[in-house]
Structure 1
Amino acid sequence: MSDDDSPLDFPCEFPIKAMGRTDADLAALVWRIVSSHAPATPAEALRTTPSRHGRFVSVTVTITAESRAQLDAIYHELQSHGDVLATL
């Protein structure tokens, strides 16, 4: 899908969310992956939310997305990592 076919108007603010087990250092992993594709993202853009019973955590990083290709690359790398159980 090209940027012209996307429902998003680039550049735009876009939240990237990944979920995994609490015992994995998921926040550091997600930050490393996302910031490698969106290096201008400030550290304050990262939020973590534990699950109700504390076994899982969700990590959200809101970036300024520049293109569909950038988002695809981020999601591909996140989904390829064994510690990431799901992405949104």
Structure 2
Amino acid sequence: MSQDDLFDFPCDFPVKVMGARRDDFAQTVVDIVLRHAPDFAAETVEMRASGSGNYLSVTCTVRAVSRAQLDALYRELSGHPAVKVVL
């Protein structure tokens, strides 16, 4: 069984990104997502601040077409200095 067999592509796939709460954090995440999923609708972004207000989670549900696409998206998000966690 290959890793692509775990998903039935294309599929809607939520990506949750957490980082320090800054004015440009959500836009930074959306910009990265759009590079990997150009059809992503930015108006569908869901955001939630942490209880203390120091962190922000941004959830983007992308239409994933392949495992390679998701891997590349996760790599770029994880490598960004503003990002703490990608789920």
Return the TM-score normalized by structure 1.
Answer: 0.91
| Letter paired with 1:71 | L
Partner of 1:40: 39
| Letter paired with 1:40 | D
Partner of 2:83: 84
The superposition leaves residues 28-55 of structure 1 with CA deviations (integer Å, 9 ceiling, x where unpaired) of 1110000111011112221111001100
Partner of 2:63: 64
| Letter paired with 1:59 | V
Partner of 2:6: 7
Post-superposition offset of 1:15? 0.4
- 5+ residue gaps, structure 2, are none
Q: Is the 8 A contact 1:45 1:63 kept in 2?
A: no
Q: Which runs of 4+ in 1 moved over 4 A?
A: none
- 5+ residue gaps, structure 1, are none
* Identical-pair percentage: 47
Return the TM-score normalized by structure 2.
Answer: 0.92
